[in-house]
């Protein structure tokens, strides 16, 4: 995937001081609501993305834990970065659905992962496995985001 535009940008940004922060800010501009969690993409490669965000007042709910929607926002951003970094050039994707389970209180900073099998990129539905962890490694949210993959139309 050396010719993937997003991976090229990621590795180019890593050459600069605060490169991960720069890349994360640039990617978050694709869907401005991603910026609400102030994410930091810490690892991006084909079929895998990891990001982190801090527990702060703006992402907390009424009981002082990270809000469910902030968690889902992180899951969707990680999935989107993974998809853009992984999908072959002749295909395109669009989100189709999301199923999540909240498994523990999100009472710390959050680490999010998104993963797919290497051979998953073909036309049809693809379930991207997404998880969120608190600082002690406990899973606080897990689920799948289903994306629909199709061939890009021929542009003549």
- Tell me the pLDDT band of 2, cut-offs 50, 70 and 90: low
CATH of the domain at 45: 3.10.129.10
The whole domain housing 120 covers 5-151
pLDDT in tens, 84-126: 999 999 999 999 999 999 999 999 999 999 999 999 999 999 9
**Which ranges constitute the DSSP H helices of the chain?**
5-14, 19-28, 68-86
**With 80 as the cut, is the pLDDT of residue 150 above it?**
yes
pLDDT of residue 1: 42
Indicate whether 87 belongs to any domain: yes
Beta-bridge partners for 110:
53
Angstrom CA distances, 29 to 3, 39, 54, stand at 22, 11, 19
Alpha-carbon distance 41 to 43, whole Å? 6
Q: What is the pLDDT of residues 48-92, one digit of tens each?
A: 999 999 999 999 999 999 999 999 999 999 999 999 999 999 999
- How many structural domains are present in the chain? 1
pLDDT at site 132: 98
Q: How many CA atoms lie within 13 A of 66 on its CB side?
A: 30
40 assigned to some structural domain: yes
Q: Residue 66: beta bridge partners?
A: 60
Tell me, yes or no, whether 156 lies in a domain. no
Q: Report the predicted TM-score, pTM, of the whole model to 2 decimal places.
A: 0.94
């Amino acid at each position: 995937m050396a010719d993937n535009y997003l991976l090229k940008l990621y590795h180019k940004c890593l050459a600069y001081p605060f490169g991960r922060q720069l890349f994360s800010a640039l990617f978050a501009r694709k869907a401005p609501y991603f910026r609400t969690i102030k994410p930091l993409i810490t690892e991006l490669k084909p079929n895998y993305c990891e990001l982190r965000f801090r527990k702060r007042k703006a992402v907390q709910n009424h009981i002082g834990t990270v809000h469910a929607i902030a968690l889902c926002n992180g899951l969707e951003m990680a999935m989107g970065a993974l998809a853009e970094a992984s999908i072959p050039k002749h295909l395109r994707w669009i989100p189709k659905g999301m199923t999540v389970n909240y498994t523990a209180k999100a009472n710390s900073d959050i680490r999010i992962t998104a993963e797919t099998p290497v051979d998953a990129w073909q036309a049809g539905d693809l379930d991207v496995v997404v998880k969120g962890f608190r600082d002690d490694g406990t899973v606080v949210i897990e689920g799948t985001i289903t994306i629909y993959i199709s061939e890009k139309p021929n542009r003549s």
